[in-house]
Structure 1
Amino acid sequence: MNSPQAHTPEVEVVVSDCSARDAGSLFAELCRHFGSDRCAEDIPHETSGSRPTMWTGRFDTSASPAESPATPSPPSLSGPVKAEVQGEPRAVERLRRALDETFVVQQLGTVAGDQEVEVELQLESRRPA
């Protein structure tokens, strides 16, 4: 007899095609909404060489951060940032809604499996009205 899988609220985010500063801004914003294996103060570092750089973080969409800092001004990205988001569909949707509050989000692609979904997103700063 098959039992339903329990909801797994953890989502993995892989950021690439951007500067370390932009990756840090994105992760800091996600840390404002969710518990994470990263601290909001963790600053990604650039690597030297010709290989592409990728930064990763895991976010628990069921958990709020330990402390709730004052709401800062929205982060500014220097250009488009590509993020691959993977996890249980409801958890990915929660994370996506949090990103929609701060950034202009365009979905570039989706791959759905039995228990998980992987979504490729492009994020850009919101322009002042």
Structure 2
Amino acid sequence: MNSPLPHTPQVEVVVSDCSAADAGSLFAELCRRFGSDRATDEAPHEAASGRPTMWTGTFDTSAAPGPSRRTAPSPHLSGPVTAELQGEPRAVERLRRALDETFVVHQLGVVAGDQEVDVELRLESRKPA
């Protein structure tokens, strides 16, 4: 007898092609909305070697974010940020919706497997209204 696999709410987020400050802004926004293995005040650091740097965080989407109650302006990114989201499809979609509320999101690619999906996004700051 086949039983359905349980929903796994964790999404791994890999951020690249941006400054440490932009990665920090993105992770701070995600930490504001979801539980994470990252501390809210944990600032990403640049690698000293001059090689490309990637930052990772795991976010628990089991408690879907409520309506946005933002009192501060949306975080500003100095340029486009590449983010790769990997996890169970429903969990990735929850995290993606949260990003859509805060940033301009362009989907660059998607790879779907039996139980996981890997989505590559380019995020940009929203223009002030």
TM range (shorter): over 0.9
2:64/2:94 contact within 8 Å kept: no
Within 1, Cα distance between the matches of 2:36 and 2:64? Answer: 9
Q: Report the alpha carbon displacement of residue 27 of structure 1 after superposing the two structures with TM.
A: 0.3
Equivalent-residue separation in structure 2 for 1:64 and 1:112 (angstroms): 22
Point out 4+ residue stretches in structure 1 off by more than 6 angstroms: none
Q: Which residue of 1 aligns with 2:4?
A: 4
Alignment match, 2:97: 97
What CA distance in whole angstroms lies between the structure 2 residues aligned with 1:81 and 1:38? 19
Query: What's the CA shift string for 1:102-129, capped at 9, x where partnerless?
Result: 1000000000000000000000000112
Mapped pair 1:119 → 2:116: no
Measured in 1, the distance between the counterparts of 2:55 and 2:71 equals 24
> In structure 1, what is the equivalent of residue 55 of structure 2?
55
**Distance of 1:52 and 1:25 partners within structure 2:** 18
Provide the C-alpha distance between the structure 2 equivalents of 1:102 and 1:78, rounded to a whole number of angstroms: 15
Q: TM-score, normalised by structure 2?
A: 0.92
Q: TM-score, normalised by structure 1?
A: 0.92
Q: Is the 8 A contact 1:15 1:83 kept in 2?
A: yes
Unaligned runs of 5+ in 2: none
